[in-house]
Amino acid sequence: MNAPKPAAARAPLMSLVDAMHDLLNRVQALSATETVATFDADRRVLAQDLTSALQVPPNDNSSMDGYALRVADVTEAGTVLRVSQRIAAGHAGHALEPGTCARIFTGAPMPAGADAVVMQEDTVEVGGDIHAVHIQAVPEVGQWVRRAGEDVTRGAVVLARGERLSPASLGLAASLGLSHLSVLARPRVALFSTGDELVMPGDVPPEAMKPGAIYNSNRFFLRALLQRMGCEVSDLGIVPDRREATLAALKTAADHHDLILTSGGVSVGEEDHIKPSVQALGSLDLWQIGMKPGKPFAYGTVRRDTPGAACHFIGLPGNPVSSFVTFLLLVRPFLLKLQGVPASRLQALPPATSLPAHFTVARADKRREFLRVRRNAAGGLDLFPNQSSGVLTSAVWGDGLVDNPAGTTIAQGDLVSYISFADLLA
């Protein structure tokens, strides 16, 4: 007969939302900043507001290849204007002689006095010695002219402190003349996997694997996920399931990292050494979340040598899908806040889309469940048939998660909340 479970194991689970709030409340942005080349700043977080020292574009300029003119000079369609100058992009013209037009190209500055551009398709060249064109339609003031400062006005805060840079924002920063940007430091993260069963690919060929041994898969996606999040990763490898080894690994990592991230060993079995080790070296504050996959999740701190200082600790479940999903839903916002993204911009979960289920879930789960699904060509969602937290294929086959509330069955055609992996990996 099984012994009764200890009371702690039956304690009510914490809701994902409460866990998220709790987790985010425990983390403050790193204070260190560094200057990086704008080229290298994708996904980094701005340490200061970017204020524009100039207006963009710097002058009124043409948005078409055509002719710049004064609208007042074209009273009717078919008016002929002499072409008095030629202005290409990157070259300044001079004031437009009254009663004439300027040949102009896209991006070239408008000559003083001109107030519109007629695109070349709406003109016909007049043959003969004089260079002149028929203007075939009466233009409107401002037509095909990009106004100085229409993108950015001088003195405007173009990107705010705490903004996470995207490819487009790098371009915008460059348009202000900024070759370097001040950004928050990268979080230094120590990563280790626990488990005596783990073997590194390359160390033992598949045919020589001992019974019970498995390859360490978590290490590969966790490292890649951390790198995508802009972290500096110290990969400390595999820590055996022994108390002393676990204590030693945690202790060494705490001094030089902002976060220790582990996978495995956070359940309640006696081979799970993470929990008591973190308790011995600091504190363990969060435990067992009401979500599936991903129930065993731990947050804590590990003391550093400097009195009063501590390193964040997050223990992810060992099951690969649980580890993957809890990283996306919990560790990701944690890392964003650590990197200086303000809490106001950190949504609890990325925006969900309502899509029809092209599958059923007949048995409701007691926990809030994140099902691995894939959009299909008919505009609905297909479910990966095996939702076991050990089946990593589901996360590769799937392109997102259905966020299914606790105790909810799903019938064919029901609208469900879909969160795309692309949003969680950006």
Q: Which residues bind ligand AMP (CB under 6 A)?
A: 193, 195, 197-198, 214, 216-219, 263-267, 317-320
Report the residue number, 294 or 380, with the smaller CB distance to ligand AMP. 294
Q: Which residue is nearest to ligand AMP (CB)?
A: 318
- 3-state class of 394 per DSSP? helix
Q: How far is the CB of 176 from ligand AMP (least distance, A)?
A: 45
**Residue 216 near which of ligand AMP, Mg ion, none (CB within 5-8 Å, type-dependent):** ligand AMP
Nearer CB in complex with ligand AMP: 123/218 = 218
Based on CB atoms, which residue is closest to ligand AMP, 146 or 273?
A: 273
| Tokens coding 4 | 């009764």
Nearer to ligand AMP, 164 or 219 (CB): 219
Using CB distances below 5 to 8 A depending on partner kind, what does residue 301 bind out of ligand AMP, Mg ion, none? none
Cis preceding-peptide flag for 4 (omega within 30 of 0): no
CA–CA distance from 383 to each of 164, 350, 371, 406 (Å)? 33, 20, 7, 18
Identify what 100 binds: Mg ion, ligand AMP, none; CB under 5 to 8 Å per kind: none
Rounded CA-CA distance 382/400 in Å is 10
Least distance to Mg ion, CB of residue 391, Å: 18
Binds 217, which of Mg ion, ligand AMP, none (CB < 5 to 8 A, cut-off by type)?
ligand AMP
Q: Using the 8-state DSSP alphabet, how is residue 212 labeled? A: T
Minimum CB separation of residue 263 from Mg ion in Å reads: 9
Helix-strand-coil percent breakdown of the chain, rounded to 5?
A: 25, 30, 45
Member of 109, 111, 195, 320 binding Mg ion (CB under 5 A)? 195
Q: What b/e readout covers 32-69, taking b as 16+ CB neighbours within 10 angstroms?
A: eeeebebeebeebbbbeebebeebbbeebbbebbbbbb
Longest distance between any two alpha carbons in the chain, whole Å: 108
The sign one gets for the Cα dihedral 362, 367, 372, 377 is positive
How far, CA to CA in Å, does 14 sit from each of 230, 285, 348? 29, 12, 15
Rg (CA), the chain: 31
| Contact status, residue 286 vs residue 298, Cβ threshold 8 Å | yes
Residue 277, contacted partner among Mg ion, ligand AMP, none, CB below 5-8 A by kind: none
- 296 near Mg ion, rule: CB under 5 A: no
Of 114 and 198, the one with the shorter C-beta distance to ligand AMP is 198
Q: Applying CB under 5 A, does 264 fall inside the site for Mg ion?
A: yes
In the complex, minimum distance from the CB of residue 231 to ligand AMP, in angstroms, rounded to a whole number: 18
Q: How far is the CB of 269 from ligand AMP (least distance, A)?
A: 6
Within positions 4 to 33, which residues make up the interface with Mg ion, using CB under 5 A? none
> At closest approach, how far in Å is the CB of 274 from ligand AMP?
8
Residue 317 binds which of Mg ion, ligand AMP, none (CB < 5-8 A, kind-dependent): ligand AMP
Q: DSSP string spanning 313-332? A: EEEE-SSHHHHHHHIIIIIH
Residue ranges in contact with Mg ion by CB under 5 A: 195, 264-265, 318
